[in-house]
């Protein structure tokens, strides 16, 4: 039963509900509003059933046994000659009350245990998690049947026990959320601010956990209603009390005489449960924005140049590739979102890379430098595409080349070094496998040959024990080593062009220096062109021949490195260079102030 509790809530839980009012969110969502109306109607009618129902639920009319609908019995009669319509609305009370009991117990038990386990951890966490796993390992229906006699044959006490069995659904949710929140820096900050545990829980933790709990409650309520109907269908409870499940049982025993009898109780159960789930979905969608799928037209990133892919064959623009630059990026625009109104992140960027040249693309966050790099590789994230402009590689236009053509270029001609070493290695495969597999695919060489090459490469990038690293899994090596492995992978097929996206940003400064040396050496050995995306002017000064400065998706200045550093043309470049602290004066000893003119940083204040 608990499988469904995770099923419908497995979408990432909202982390920043912010100002969004839950009620307003639901009312604005048409599906949510409909669900809310249906649910309110069902509850309302169930509550006022005594005044509303045309007949007493146990009133028997012999001539109405299995009768078709009529003015007297709106939905016909059941196997005992009772009014199906009246029983249906009376039954709501009983079924909903049972579900309410189960949900309340699950909610209180699960949330409190989850809060305690998550916040205080240790023994609490171990004990509660263990209990929760046990409860989850048991099929609820069978346990409830086994305990039915023990519980005195009452549906409500059975549902109370079911509430206990459902509590892991809340427990796991709350516990995981609390642990996630507890490790957030803002909770540390609150602690340093002098807040007590209870204050921290109520101010920070409950706020974050609240909406996931609401979503989970809707799902759990649905499960409770279904399981309760199932138990009643099997004959649990007082046969005289009308319940939806009991009505289905009656319909089942007359199924060969009156097949349509199963219709109404089934529909009302389904309608109630569906409304609950849709309501939960509406809350979730409102809190996390439109469903992820809606903004992700295709999951595997297709070639970015989607809309004109038809004209995709690679055309040779320049007959002599020797004269053309290695890479020519001309006035490209990169955008995300729908075709009519895309959000552009790169707005007309042009630059060339000559064979063997290292070109730096520098800019602050949001300048579009990484998007430019990805568009060259044809690997823009989901939803991104080149809107216009052209990318030429060795004289061939690859802007709108089909995926199959791009795949032939990647690895062999154009390679990529990512920023974050650890997340760029597949945790399930050995380092060796991740080097060998692409080499076999790209160079069409044997496994043994690829293995030899991989070992040689690992030695070349400065890994002390290549054999051992080859056999290791990514989690067994350090970040610096992982970046060397990624560099080895990038140069493994001797590419002509290397796209390096902040290749040293995640590394310690001493490791950074070593990796920069490695890149310089490899470049002079292999003579490849490099596009070096970075925010660090030191890295640019160390490595680059030419520099492209970007801001807000546009190129501000393109210059050779010496000119850029010693005679920058644009004020923006000047201000960026001025913000580096290399030449900023050291802080004078305590008791003396900066002379305002000598404080370099204060120029920008």
Q: Which is nearer to other proteins, 27 or 206 (CB)?
A: 206
Q: Which is nearer to other proteins, 3 or 320 (CB)?
A: 3
Shortest spacing between CB 61 and other proteins, in angstroms: 25
Number of residues that this document lists for the chain: 605
User: 334 forms bridges with which residues in the sheet?
Assistant: 346, 386
Q: Which is nearer to other proteins, 3 or 63 (CB)?
A: 3
CA distance 40 to 107: 21
Short-list 25, 498, 41, 510, CA closest to 290: 25
Q: Which is nearer to other proteins, 54 or 571 (CB)?
A: 571
Number of C-beta neighbours around residue 202 at 10 A: 12
Q: Which is nearer to other proteins, 46 or 229 (CB)?
A: 229
Shortest spacing between CB 87 and other proteins, in angstroms: 17
Phi and psi dihedrals of 327, rounded to 5? -135, 135
Q: How many CA atoms lie within 13 A of 81 on its CB side?
A: 7
Shortest spacing between CB 319 and other proteins, in angstroms: 27
Q: Which is nearer to other proteins, 6 or 388 (CB)?
A: 6
Number of C-beta neighbours around residue 560 at 10 A: 11
Shortest spacing between CB 231 and other proteins, in angstroms: 9
CA distance 165 to 389: 60
Shortest spacing between CB 546 and other proteins, in angstroms: 12
Shortest spacing between CB 51 and other proteins, in angstroms: 29
Cα Dmax for the chain? 105
CA distance 448 to 416: 24
Shortest spacing between CB 340 and other proteins, in angstroms: 18
Q: What angle do CA 279, 282, 287 make, to 5 degrees?
A: 135
Q: Which is nearer to other proteins, 364 or 465 (CB)?
A: 364
User: Which residues of 464-603 form beta strands (DSSP E)?
Assistant: 497-501, 529-534, 546-551, 554-560
For the chain, report the end-to-end CA distance as a whole number of angstroms: 60
Shortest spacing between CB 339 and other proteins, in angstroms: 15
Sheet containing 315-316: give its strands across. 315-316, 396-397, 384-393, 327-336, 343-353
Q: Which is nearer to other proteins, 61 or 356 (CB)?
A: 356
Short-list 44, 18, 22, 17, CA closest to 32: 22
């Amino acid at each position: 039963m608990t499988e469904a509790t995770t099923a419908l809530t497995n979408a990432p839980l909202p982390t920043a509900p912010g100002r969004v009012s839950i009620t307003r969110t639901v009312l604005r969502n048409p599906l949510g509003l409909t669900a809310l109306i249906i649910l309110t109607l069902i509850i309302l009618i169930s509550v006022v059933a005594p005044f509303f129902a045309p007949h007493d639920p146990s009133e028997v009319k012999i001539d109405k046994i299995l009768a078709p609908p009529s003015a007297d019995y709106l939905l016909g009669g059941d196997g005992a000659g009772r009014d199906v319509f009246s029983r249906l609305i009376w039954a709501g009370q009983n079924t909903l009350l049972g579900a309410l009991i189960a949900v309340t117990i699950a909610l209180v038990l699960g949330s409190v245990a989850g809060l305690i386990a998550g916040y205080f951890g240790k023994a609490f966490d171990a004990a509660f998690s263990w209990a929760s796993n046990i409860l989850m390992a048991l099929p609820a229906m069978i346990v409830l049947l086994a305990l039915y006699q023990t519980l005195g044959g009452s549906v409500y006490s059975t549902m109370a026990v079911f509430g206990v069995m459902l509590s892991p659904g809340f427990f796991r949710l709350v516990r995981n959320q609390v642990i996630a929140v507890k490790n957030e820096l803002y909770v540390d900050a609150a602690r340093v601010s002098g807040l007590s545990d209870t204050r921290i829980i109520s101010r920070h933790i409950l706020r974050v956990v609240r909406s996931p709990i609401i979503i989970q409650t809707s799902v759990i309520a649905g499960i409770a209603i279904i399981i309760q109907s199932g138990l009643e269908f099997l004959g649990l409870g007082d046969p005289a009390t009308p319940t939806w499940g009991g009505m289905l049982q009656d319909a089942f025993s007359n199924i060969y005489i009156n097949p349509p009898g199963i219709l109404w109780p089934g529909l009302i159960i389904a309608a109630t449960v569906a409304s609950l789930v849709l309501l939960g979905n509406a809350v979730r969608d409102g809190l996390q924005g439109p469903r992820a799928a809606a903004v992700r037209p295709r999951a595997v990133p297709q070639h970015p140049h989607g809309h004109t892919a038809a004209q995709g064959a690679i055309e040779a623009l320049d007959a002599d590739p020797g004269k053309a630059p290695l890479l020519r990026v001309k006035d490209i625009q990169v955008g995300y979102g729908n075709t009519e109104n895309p959000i552009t992140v790169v707005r007309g960027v042009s630059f060339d890379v000559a064979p063997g040249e290292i070109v730096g693309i520098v800019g602050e966050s949001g300048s579009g430098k990484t998007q430019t790099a990805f568009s060259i590789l044809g690997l823009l994230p989901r939803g991104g595409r080149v809107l216009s402009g052209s990318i030429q590689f060795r004289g061939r236009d690859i802007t709108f080349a089909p995926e199959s053509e791009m795949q032939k270029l990647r690895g062999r001609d154009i390679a990529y070094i990512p920023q974050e070493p650890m997340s760029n290695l597949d945790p399930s495969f050995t380092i060796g496998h991740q080097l060998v597999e692409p080499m076999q695919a790209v160079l069409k060489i044997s496994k043994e040959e690829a293995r030899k090459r991989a070992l040689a490469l690992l030695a070349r990038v400065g890994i002390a024990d290549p054999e051992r690293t080859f056999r290791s899994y990514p989690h067994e090596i350090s970040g610096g080593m992982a970046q060397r492995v990624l560099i080895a992978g990038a140069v493994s097929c001797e590419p002509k062009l290397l796209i390096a996206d902040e290749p040293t940003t995640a590394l310690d400064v001493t490791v950074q220096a070593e990796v920069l040396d490695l890149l310089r050496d490899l470049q002079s050995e292999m003579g490849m062109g490099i596009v070096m995306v970075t925010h660090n002017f030191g890295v640019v000064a160390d490595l680059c021949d030419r520099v492209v400065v970007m801001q807000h998706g546009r190129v501000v200045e393109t210059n050779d490195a010496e000119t850029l550093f010693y005679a920058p043309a644009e004020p923006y470049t000047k201000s960026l260079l001025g913000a580096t602290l290399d030449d900023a004066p050291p802080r004078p000893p305590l008791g003396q102030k900066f002379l305002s003119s000598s404080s370099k940083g204060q120029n920008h204040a």
